[in-house]
């Protein structure tokens, strides 16, 4: 090897070492940057001189299988987080076994006040207490139904925000996809663009789980798990109209709530054939169109049972067949054709509510009585108490097909709510553990700062060796020139 070849080899080595140091330092600096993938320098023999080293480029290391598995775990965690939050909040609204303001506790207070009043029917204070505990029971159903309505409305508004976010992110992905081959064509580094694209895909995946398919020129196509084409050259566009303030009777089927469309075509959002499986968007549709509707039906069943019990023919001899009972549907008798949202409208009959201008003695004498009657007669109070304890058919089969007492129904609702919350929390814990494990496995394939520091030491040694070789060549040249 002559001095010229040695010098060229050393210069090539210095260049490669300098570029390698930049790559390694970039890895270390971005070890915690979202979407960043480890880089390495690709080197080859200098084909022109046949000696030395030449830098081919920078390789971006990413395992598509690990990334896909981690994204699946991310999407499932997003779904379970939303669903668990719904059930937890619902359990708080209904109340637990130890909650003095739970629905079951309110019913027990009302039943207890009837028994207490029957033991001393001439006591106006005890009759007033019956009215107040009855109003508290109705108010609890109203408050629970209103809290549920707000959660459904929140889901509707969140869907609108997520759809806007999806459309914007898909547009950004379209732009980056088009920019990558253009930058690569002029010899630019596309690594940062690939990192940015991965971050954007992860953002879409949180809302709507995706499958990424590589295309020519480092571009990608994106599909949903349900088969929707989200990005194939150009970005698809979702459409959705936010209602904002939902009511129990509103559904997609009756046209009062918006469905989801993609490029003008309807998207299936529920069921086994849903085209948006998993992710936060599917969870919000599940809450708005399935979970909240089911829970509202359960609450309405409890309200219907209460109203119908006190409308039982012959229960109150003073009342007409068209009169409302102790509990009403916004001051009216129960109408089977308008059962939706009944829990939000149930109220204590104002004619027995002293705080609303009524007379609590009607609970003793009968709702249709013209006068207080015998103050020592507790027969009507006993009848009202007995009807609460009577087993009767339940309108909603979700609680079973057998006859149930009023307390059985509220306890069944509370039990179902608690069980659903527990199951949802277990699924959330599992999803969180899975996501953490997949993130850890993917991170092991990413930047290891210890290994990068070792590579930096090796690069430093390589740089020093090549610099020493240049110094030796320089000394030899000076010696030859002095001869």
Residue 353 has pLDDT above 70, yes or no: yes
Are 27 and 164 members of one domain? no
Which of residues 413, 435, 457 is at a domain's end?
A: 435
Are 207 and 317 members of one domain? yes
Which of residues 397, 414, 435 is at a domain's end?
A: 435
Lowest mean per-residue pLDDT among 393-407, 411-425, 463-477: 463-477
* In the chain, % of residues over pLDDT 70: 84
pLDDT at 461: 74
The H or E element that residue 234 is part of is strand 234-235
Supply the DSSP string of 243-297, one letter for each residue: --S--TT--TTTTSS--EEETTEEE--SSTT-SS-SHHHHHHHHIIIIIHHHHHH
Are 42 and 146 members of one domain? no
Q: What is the pLDDT confidence band of residue 133, given thresholds at 50, 70 and 90?
A: very high
- Asked if residue 301 is part of any domain, the answer here is yes
Residue 98 has pLDDT above 90, yes or no: no
Are 302 and 269 members of one domain? yes
pLDDT higher for 85 or 16?
A: 85
Q: Are 447 and 33 in contact (CB under 8 A)?
A: no
| Average pLDDT score, the chain | 88
pLDDT digits (tens, 9 = 90+) for 424-454: 999 999 999 999 998 888 777 766 666 667 7
pLDDT digits (tens, 9 = 90+) for 163-187: 999 999 999 999 999 999 998 888 8
Are 240 and 339 members of one domain? yes
- Asked if residue 123 is part of any domain, the answer here is yes
- Asked if residue 354 is part of any domain, the answer here is yes
Are 231 and 364 members of one domain? yes
Are 259 and 352 members of one domain? yes
- CA 298 from chain center: how many Å? 22
Which of residues 396, 414, 435 is at a domain's end?
A: 435
Are 112 and 192 members of one domain? yes
* Whole-number Cα distances in Å, 155 to 83, 114, 288: 11, 40, 6
pTM of the complete model: 0.86
Per-residue pLDDT, averaged over 213-232, amounts to: 92
Are 182 and 197 members of one domain? yes
pLDDT higher for 449 or 345?
A: 345
- Asked if residue 441 is part of any domain, the answer here is no
- Asked if residue 372 is part of any domain, the answer here is yes
- Asked if residue 440 is part of any domain, the answer here is no
Structural domain boundaries, residue 459:
3-61+446-482
Are 308 and 450 members of one domain? no
Are 41 and 189 members of one domain? no
Please count the structural domains in the chain.
Answer: 2
Q: What is the pLDDT confidence band of residue 102, given thresholds at 50, 70 and 90?
A: very high
Are 100 and 229 members of one domain? yes
Residue 237 has pLDDT above 70, yes or no: yes
Q: What is the pLDDT confidence band of residue 1, given thresholds at 50, 70 and 90?
A: low
Q: What token pair was written down for 242? A: 């936010």
- Asked if residue 151 is part of any domain, the answer here is yes
């Amino acid at each position: 090897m002559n001095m010229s070849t040695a010098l060229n080899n050393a210069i090539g080595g210095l260049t490669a070492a300098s570029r390698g140091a930049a790559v390694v330092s970039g890895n270390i600096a971005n070890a915690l940057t979202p979407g960043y993938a480890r880089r390495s320098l690709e080197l080859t023999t200098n084909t022109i001189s046949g000696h030395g080293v030449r830098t081919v480029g920078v390789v971006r290391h990413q395992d598509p299988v690990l990334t896909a598995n981690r994204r699946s775990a991310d999407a499932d965690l997003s779904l379970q987080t939303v669903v668990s939050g719904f059930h937890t909040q619902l359990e708080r609204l209904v109340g637990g076994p130890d909650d003095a303001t739970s629905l079951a506790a309110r019913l027990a207070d009302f039943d207890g006040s009837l028994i207490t009043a029957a033991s001393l029917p001439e006591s106006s204070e005890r009759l007033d207490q019956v009215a107040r505990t009855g109003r508290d029971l109705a108010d609890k159903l109203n408050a629970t139904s209103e809290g549920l309505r707000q959660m459904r409305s929140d889901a509707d508004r969140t869907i609108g925000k997520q759809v806007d976010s999806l459309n914007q992110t898909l547009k950004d992905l379209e732009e980056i996809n088009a920019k990558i081959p253009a930058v690569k064509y002029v010899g630019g580094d596309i690594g940062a663009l690939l990192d940015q694209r991965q971050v954007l895909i992860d953002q879409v995946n949180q809302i709507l789980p995706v499958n990424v398919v590589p295309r020519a020129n480092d571009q990608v196509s994106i599909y949903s798990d349900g088969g929707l084409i989200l990005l194939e050259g150009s970005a698809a566009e979702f459409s959705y109209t936010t209602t904002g303030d939902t009511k129990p009777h509103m559904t997609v089927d009756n046209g009062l709530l918006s469905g989801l469309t993609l490029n003008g075509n309807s998207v299936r959002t529920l069921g086994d054939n849903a085209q948006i499986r998993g992710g936060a968007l599917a969870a919000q549709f599940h809450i708005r169109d399935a979970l909240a509707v089911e829970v509202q039906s359960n609450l309405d069943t409890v309200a219907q049972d209460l109203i119908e019990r006190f409308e039982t023919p012959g229960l109150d001899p003073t009342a007409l067949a068209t009169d409302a009972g102790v509990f009403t549907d916004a001051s009216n008798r129960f109408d089977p054709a308008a059962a939706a949202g009944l829990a939000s409208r149930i109220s204590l009959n104002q004619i027995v509510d002293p705080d609303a201008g009524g007379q609590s003695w009607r609970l003793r004498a009968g709702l249709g009585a013209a006068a207080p009657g015998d103050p020592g007669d507790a027969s009507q109070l006993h009848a009202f108490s007995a009807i609460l304890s009577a087993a009767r058919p339940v309108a909603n089969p979700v609680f079973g097909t057998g006859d149930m007492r009023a307390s059985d129904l509220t306890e069944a609702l509370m039990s179902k709510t608690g069980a659903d919350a527990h199951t949802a929390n277990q699924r959330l814990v599992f999803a969180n553990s899975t996501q953490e494990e997949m993130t850890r496995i993917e991170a092991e394939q990413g930047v290891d700062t210890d290994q990068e520091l070792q590579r930096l030491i090796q690069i430093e040694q390589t740089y020093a060796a090549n610099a020493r070789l240049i110094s030796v060549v320089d000394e030899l040249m000076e010696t030859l020139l002095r001869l």
